[in-house]
Amino acid sequence: MREMTMIQAIHEAMKMALESDDRVMVLGEDVGKNGGVFRATEGLQAHFGPDRVVDTPLAESAIVGAAVGLAVAGMRPIAEIQFLGFIYEAMDQIAGQAARIRFRSGGQYSAPIVIRAPFGGGVRTPELHSDSLEALFLHTPGLKVVMPSNPRDAKGLLLAAVRDPDPVLYLEPLKLYRAFRGEVPEQWYEVPIGRAQVVIPGQDVTVIAWGPTVPVAVRAARSAQEAWGHSCEVIDLRTIAPMDTETLVASVEKTGRVVVVHEAVRSGGVGAEVAARLAESAFLSLAAPMVRVTGYDTPYPPPAIEDAWLPSVDRVVEAIHRVAAF
Amino acid sequence: MEVYRADEPKPLYRVLDEEGSPVGPVPDLAEDRLVGMYRGMVLARTFDERALNLQRQGRIGTYAPFSGQEAAQIGSFAVLEKDDWVFPSYRELAGLIYHGLPMERALLYSMGHPDGAKVPEDSRMFPVQIVIASQLLHAVGAGWACRLKGERSVAVSYFGDGATSEGDFHEALNLASVFSVPVVFFCQNNGWAISVPVSHQMRSATVAQRAVAYGIEGIRVDGNDVLAVYEGMLRAVDRARAGEGPTLVEAVTYRLGPHTTADDPTRYRDEEELKRWREQRDPIVRFRKFLEKRGIWSEEQERTEWERARRMVDEAVVRAESYPKADPSFAFEHVYALMTPDLSNQRDEWRARASRREGMQ
Ligand SMILES: Cc1ncc(C[n+]2csc(CCOP(=O)(O)OP(=O)(O)O)c2C)c(N)n1
């Protein structure tokens, strides 16, 4: 099968979505002529025209707010926020408007939009370009939050998001855009939103990650196996809302031990939600306290010190050993 | 029925033509101030070109060049006093350096060093703003405070043409107008917001005319004419100091380089347009011609000035590159005034790891 990078897979998904449905449109800052600052929309405007791939003025609230109106009136917008850190500008339109229009109108209206945004660290960006803010949106009922970690899922989840009847926030880990290639089917396929994937099966410890920390978790699992002989089951959450509790519980019932890895700051992070669910549903299976390996409770630090801040393979290996040896 | 339409756009205010000859009243500035502004522009250009090089060599990280915009920046900063508040975006290094920001700090910022965001302690500059248009509201607040405290100081915010599309721009102008705040909104309209030309950013013919809708004064000056910028800014600052409220200043200029070192302008920008601005409208050339015609600048001085600037930039590079390495615990120390128990635990954990890592190396 063909291999491609995550950014190519995302590009291909948007192209297929635009081809398959006249109502689909792409809008955002620099997505047209420039093809997006990461080239996610490269060539799409030339192919589909400026009405379907739209360079908007520099206004995030306008982009998302207009997308809500477009969607309500029958279009299927894919809006881009250039970097997740700038989504605060559109917070009301996402959390206060798009996410609750179905509820507010008693099911009369809905906002089937996709909001794409790159995020995540380890790439030496200026301030606010690397922040992981998924927890803000897990806390927003009415919104789905998708975070792919490989090219195949990236395409399948984006196609599922475009067809989804509700607003979907689709978060793209910057570091993984071009980090590796993976097999991506040519045809239209959808990876269901709300289902986690067992990336590596194992017996002793469940390591739960999503987005940029999945490769970190995988490397850590391998080295924990080599160094200590711990057999780790690595689970890629893939979407954090809705969250696939079932897969997590099934794994923990087998292993009894849990490490959660995410880049976002620790307090109130998605890891806390994962731990709470496991405490509620699998408490008696737990053989050790759950451990979180996360960003620290500070703003994302400047590039010169970010490597020491991010959850590293070392930190995850240590955590695995700690819960395994408990 | 009466309908409202935008005014016919006003002509650009200019003091000098492209050849450096006066076409309007020349501001009454002492010789050494004129020369000082020119030197500021030369130093800025030298710094900018060097920074771009350093980025290409991998010695600094992402950098947003400002070449072409020196007149807009130096001309406006020349009006400011030390006690005035300044809220810059990421593209105002020329002005900030002229206003006292040490060059090595600007370099450290692009190196990703935490100290790069620090400003001189006796200044009222803010660190550079990354989020488009947020700083306009901070300027409104600071200017408002100056008025409430009976200070003479004013607040200035710097931003690009793209920023005028953000809600924050409109909220800032409106709020400042309602409370008659001593604030100057200084827009460097450099033609582009990354790949989007100003004609696709807004349908009003000028940025300056937007002031009208908020009941404040708008000024539109040739941003590549340092004296026109100076005059425009002087009017705005004087009005603010005199209690006449906010002003929106639009300096029409051009970004000669890429948006940042991560950007490739050949994808969206016409070579001809760039050539025209580079060859015919360089703000430094124009001002030099003026100084020469005034008889206060010679070829000899010109040569020494560029050499001096190169030396100063070299020295700043050395200072930046020999600056002490970033301390990892920085991240924890500046989150709250008093570190929380959680954070101090996290810091200890981090320190232990950092020293283990060092030990391994
Ligand atoms: C709120 C927000 N959205 C998007 C960005 C990404 N971005 C950085 S600079 C820029 C263009 C800014 O253009 P303009 O305001 O004209 O200023 P210039 O860069 O030309 O000086 C964009 C879209 C950002 N920094 N902040």
In this structure, what CATH number is given to the domain that contains residue B108? 3.40.50.970
Asked if residue B18 is part of any domain, the answer here is no
Asked if residue B237 is part of any domain, the answer here is yes
Of the candidates A268, A81, A69, A44, the residue with the CA atom closest to the CA atom of residue A170: A81
Where in chain A is CATH 3.40.50.970? 2-184
Same domain, B292 and B356: no
Same domain, B306 and B357: no
Expressed in percent and rounded to 5, the helix, strand and coil fractions of chain B are: 50, 10, 40
Of the candidates B183, B87, B86, the residue with the CA atom closest to the CA atom of residue B144: B183
Chosen for mutation from A31, A34, A124, A322 (greatest number of chain B CBs closer than 10 Å) is: A34
Q: How many H helices and E strands in chain A?
A: 12, 14
- B255 belongs to the catalytic site: yes
Contacting residues of A for B112, CB less than 8 Å apart: 124, 302-306
Asked if residue B254 is part of any domain, the answer here is yes
* Backbone φ and ψ of A37, nearest 5°: -65, -20
Number of the ligand 1 atom closest to the C-alpha atom of B89: 21
Measured CA to CA, the distance from residue A147 to residue A32 in angstroms comes to: 24
Beta bridge partners of A76: A24
pLDDT < 50 regions, chain A = none
Q: Whose CA is nearest to atom 19 of ligand 1?
A: B193
How much is the pLDDT for B10?
82
Same domain, B175 and B51: yes
Where in chain A is CATH 3.40.50.920? 197-325
Structure tokens at B157: 């915010």
Q: CB–CB of B226/B194 below 8 Å?
A: no
Q: CB–CB of B80/B139 below 8 Å?
A: no
Same domain, B234 and B349: no
The 10s digit of each residue's pLDDT in A165-182 is 999 999 999 999 999 999
Chosen for mutation from A51, A58, A125 (greatest number of chain B CBs closer than 10 Å) is: A58
Same domain, B292 and B340: no
Asked if residue B6 is part of any domain, the answer here is no
B72 lines ligand 1 (CB under 6 A): no
Buried b (16+ CB within 10 A) or exposed e, B301-327: beeebeeebbeebeebbeebeebeebe
How much is the pLDDT for A239?
98
The residue segments making up the domain with residue B277 are 31-326
Structure tokens at A189: 């396929």
Size of interface A-B (CB pairs under 8 A): 118
Q: Whose CA is nearest to atom 13 of ligand 1?
A: B193
Distance B193 CA to ligand 1 centre (A): 6
**B164 CB-side CA count, 13 A:** 29
Q: What would the mean pLDDT of B79-97 be, rounded to a whole number?
A: 98
Distance B259 CA to ligand 1 centre (A): 9
Indicate the burial class of A194 (C-beta count within 10 angstroms; 0-12, 13-18, 19 or more): middle
Instruction: Provide the phi-psi class of A262: left if phi over 0, else alpha when psi is between -120 and 50, else beta.
Output: beta
Beta carbons within 8 Å of B266's beta carbon, 6+ residues apart: none
Task: ipTM value, please give it.
Answer: 0.95
B95 lines ligand 1 (CB under 6 A): no
Q: CB–CB of A306/A207 below 8 Å?
A: no
Question: How far is residue B352 from each of residues B153, B267, B347, measured CA to CA in Å?
Answer: 47, 47, 9
Q: Distance from A33 to chain B by nearest Cα, in Å?
A: 6
Confidence band (pLDDT; 50, 70, 90) for B359? low
Between strands A258-265 and A205-209, the pairing is parallel
Residue from A33, A61, A82, A128 to probe ligand 1 pocket by mutation (most atoms less than 8 Å from CB):
A82
Please answer yes or no on whether A57 and B117 come within 8 Å at the CB atom.
Answer: no
Asked if residue B45 is part of any domain, the answer here is yes
Rg over alpha carbons for chain B, rounded to the nearest Å, is 22
How much is the pLDDT for B7?
62
pLDDT above 60: residue B361: no
Beta bridge partners of A118: A172
Q: CB–CB of A293/A260 below 8 Å?
A: yes
Count of the separate structural domains present in chain B: 2
CATH number of A197-325: 3.40.50.920
B163 lines ligand 1 (CB under 6 A): yes
How much is the pLDDT for A160?
98
pLDDT above 90: residue B360: no
The 10s digit of each residue's pLDDT in A195-228 is 999 999 999 999 999 999 999 999 999 999 999 9
How many residues does the structure list for chain A? 326
Q: What would the mean pLDDT of B279-299 be, rounded to a whole number?
A: 98
Same domain, B120 and B149: yes
Asked if residue B152 is part of any domain, the answer here is yes
Beta carbons within 8 Å of A188's beta carbon, 6+ residues apart: A16, A20, A159
Q: Which residue of B has its CA nearest to A311?
A: B350
Same domain, B241 and B142: yes
| Strand boundaries in B190-255, DSSP class E | 192-193, 196-197, 217-222, 247-252
Measured CA to CA, the distance from residue B270 to residue A121 in angstroms comes to: 34
Distance A39 CA to ligand 1 centre (A): 17
Asked if residue B154 is part of any domain, the answer here is yes
Indicate the burial class of B336 (C-beta count within 10 angstroms; 0-12, 13-18, 19 or more): exposed
- A129 belongs to the catalytic site: yes
Q: Distance from A188 to chain B by nearest Cα, in Å?
A: 30
Q: CB–CB of A320/A224 below 8 Å?
A: yes
Measured CA to CA, the distance from residue B358 to residue B36 in angstroms comes to: 47
Q: Distance from B168 to chain A by nearest Cα, in Å?
A: 9
Same domain, B335 and B241: no
Buried b (16+ CB within 10 A) or exposed e, B122-148: ebbbbbbbbbbbbbbbbbbbbbbebbe
Measured CA to CA, the distance from residue A281 to residue A249 in angstroms comes to: 7
Same domain, B294 and B321: yes
How much is the pLDDT for B328?
83
B16 DSSP 8-state letter:
B
Indicate the burial class of B333 (C-beta count within 10 angstroms; 0-12, 13-18, 19 or more): middle
Among B268, B276, B353, B357, the one annotated catalytic: B268
Please answer yes or no on whether A301 and B331 come within 8 Å at the CB atom.
Answer: yes
Nearest CB among A55, A89, A304 relative to B112 is that of A304
CB neighbours (10 Å) of residue B90? 22
Same domain, B264 and B360: no
- B5 belongs to the catalytic site: no
Same domain, B304 and B337: no
Q: Which amino acid is at B213?
A: A
> Does A2-184 carry CATH code 3.40.50.620?
no
CB neighbours (10 Å) of residue A186? 10
Please answer yes or no on whether B335 and A29 come within 8 Å at the CB atom.
Answer: no
Nearest CB among B112, B202, B346 relative to A297 is that of B346
Query: Which strands form A144-146's sheet, in the order they lie side by side?
Result: A53-55, A24-28, A76-80, A114-119, A168-173, A144-146, A239-241
Structure tokens at B163: 């920023």
* Backbone φ and ψ of B47, nearest 5°: -60, -45
Chosen for mutation from A123, A296, A307 (greatest number of chain B CBs closer than 10 Å) is: A296
Contacting residues of A for B268, CB less than 8 Å apart: 33-34
Distance B337 CA to ligand 1 centre (A): 31
Structure tokens at A42: 């490269």
Same domain, B217 and B271: yes
Asked if residue B20 is part of any domain, the answer here is no
Distance B162 CA to ligand 1 centre (A): 6
